[in-house]
Structure 1
Amino acid sequence: MPEQPPATEPRRSLGRHWRGLLLGLGAALVSALLVSSHWQATASLGALRQLQLQAERTGRLDSLLIQLVDAESGVRGYLLSGERAYLEPYLNSLATLDYTLEDIRQDLAPTPEDQNALAQIRGLVVLKKRLLADAVNRGQLGPEGSADRAAEGRRYMNDLRKAVTEYKGRILARGQRSFDASIAHVEATRWVVAILAGGALVLLVLLFTMGQRQLRLRERIADLLRRENRWLDELVQERTAELSELASYLTRTRETEQARLARELHDELGALLTAARMDTAWLVRKLDPDALAPHRERFDRLLETLDQGISLKRRIIDDLQPPLLRELGLVVALRSLAEDFAERSGAELHLDLPEGDLPLSAEGALALYRIAQEALTNIRRHAGARTVTVALSCKDEAVQLRIEDDGTGFVPARVGRRHYGLAGMRHRMQMFSGVCEIDSRPGAGTRIRARLPLVVESASVS
């Protein structure tokens, strides 16, 4: 590669200097924007919390008045009717008034004004409770002094309402001042954010101008990049082949490990669950009916739980290593898998399977079964399909599996790299020189076609 003339070095150094300066300025502006936005959000949240706290405090004051009114109404009903059922609101209010007063005390600011207000409210509540208790103990209003007592009760209640109203007014005024301060902070922050955003826009224009200059520089090194890309392509192909071999090895290892886990679950966990169920059933039979009766429901629930555990164990084993595939072949296993899917999802199922089994090796049959399993799982979880078709055929020296649905569909090109299920389908076919095609559109369902050549598949297994 030819060397650059020495005269261009100062120009490059100057360009790097300005580029670094602009980037540093941009980072500072972005940081300032983030800090300002955080400050604005914090101020807004603080205002909202103050409003919420203010509403809770005034609500507790209102609750105090309501409890006293309920107590007074209950006592009045009792005195007029003589029935103790009317005292229930009074008794309930007595049980909650002290808690409400304690909540109000915790809300107080440590100022003499608020402390005096609480002392006044507490004293009026005590006087009101004493007056109501005296009326209940008498059992009636009494012919003497009833008017004076009624006037005294009204005076206590009016004083209490006045004290509560004044205290609520101070709370509301204090909250309004805090809210106004928060609004002022938010307004100031908004202007700061606007100024910073304008500076960021100017910086973007400068960066765009410098970017245009960089484009011309990139054209001068395009030849070097092309040569480098050719070398990288060869390296990528080599690494891709290695990764493909590794993925094939991992797939086979996973199937082997799943088979081992299935055997251990069947031998160990299955034996434990079966023994536990047999012992429980034996206890139910041997216990005296009178002794068993109080615990019958628990024993029945235990037996039901053990049955569910055995069924769950069987379903897990079937997912890890489908026994029908191993014992009866691919056609029977696909039929069972599809029917189980239809039963669990409620979708209408159309099966097009051959009568007899196909000339497939165990690995080839397992690959097609796993593709069908993954496809039906995706349909049940994501597609919301009403109709599903599962077809298997053998023609042109190849086995073809087709799965279609009328669900929501998707755009295959937009599927993220973390959707390993679809990639796993394709790789399972690539292991046997087969092809897995996925065709889908939003609102038009999904069609999956897997084609496994019999000759290549048999040679690969051999």
Structure 2
Amino acid sequence: MPTAPPAYKIVNSRLVLTAGFGGLLLLMAFAGFDGIQALQQIQTANDSIREEFLLRTRVLERIRADVYVSGTYVRDYLLERESGKAQGHQYSLRETRSDMDAALQQYRALLNAEESRPFQVLTQELGAYWGVLEPALRWTAAQRQRDGYTFLRDEVFPRRTSMLGIADQIGAINESQLKAGRLKVEETFRQSRRRLTITIGLTIALGLLLAAFSTRHILRLENETAERYREISGARAELKLLSARLVAAQENERRSISRELHDEVGQALTGVLVEMANLSTLIREKDTDRVAAKADEIKKLVENSISVVRNMALLLRPSMLDDLGLVPALQWQAREVSKRSGIWVKVSAEQVSEELPEEHKTCIYRIVQEALHNIVQHAAARHVSVTVRQEPGRLLLAIQDDGKGFQPQQERGMGLVGIEERVSYLGGKFEVDSAPGRGATLNVMLPLAEAA
């Protein structure tokens, strides 16, 4: 009979496939999310570094421009002869200093560790620069005309050049910071690429494993399907053969019943009719002695006919199976077989309930009947043991003989096939243990519904 694959195998395969494809989707989602997050992180870091660099550069350029412009205003102030215009240059110079102070304060908030020392030097130089300029801003026109050029040459221009050099150093440090930021962004990108490569590798590996598992599972399903098809085809062929055998057995049984009725009952009844005619003649002749003898002969013929009909009825469906139960019916059958064949048949029953279902009683009775018939016909046995035992939830039957044995896998006749079909119909199990020279044992297990 075709067998379905175990449920746990189907559940395990579904769990593995679900977990595998779920893990694959999670890995793909993680790779996408991590890639997007890494790109956003790189973009944010790059924008931050760029904006910070541009801001620092603008502030530093502002300081540098103020230093350069301040020198120009000092020059114009010192070389201007008209007092009004000199005051205008002085005002512009003070505005430039205010702007420079504001720029220095802004840049101080943007300082990093590497720029703190050069910025401190720049601040000190600017303080000294403005400290040198402060007395010159109170000079008279004559003082400016007399000492202005010398002051510009010896004090202003050298200090301005020095401060511009310091500003250039700070600018170089700022550019190095930009380069360091770019290197950091590149390192972040490499790390993200490494993580993405690992994730893609894991995804590919898991995908290959799933593909291999799915392929193996599909091939196994194909093999199981092919096996089921072969089993079904074999079962159909066996069913056709069984149907043909059943029809043949039915025809043989009908032929046997017909022969029994014709040869035994028909001839007996014919004999009764003949003897009844003879009895009628004797009655008319008033031969009292011969009438009594003839009546006895007719009685014996009728009794024999009744016995034949009773035996036929018992073979078809023993009334004692319904009236007395399974065990007495089996014991009667054992006695009848022993009478006909001379084989000693023993029936043992252990805790067999009289409330067994009808189909179970009929099944056990017919199996014992068929087994004893086969033993008589083929086994050449001297002793047969029939054991019926009821256990919780099942009914067990064992039939053992000491005959010549056979090979069950190769010699499966109509009787064994019929027994197997009866057992399978009730959801039971059937097996035959035999080998040439060591007898045979037939075991049957029928499930029973648990009592409420």
Q: Which has the higher contact order (CA 8 A, sep 6+)?
A: 2
Fold shared by both chains (TM-score > 0.5)? no
Greater Rg over alpha carbons, structure: 2
User: TM-score when scaled to structure 2?
Assistant: 0.40
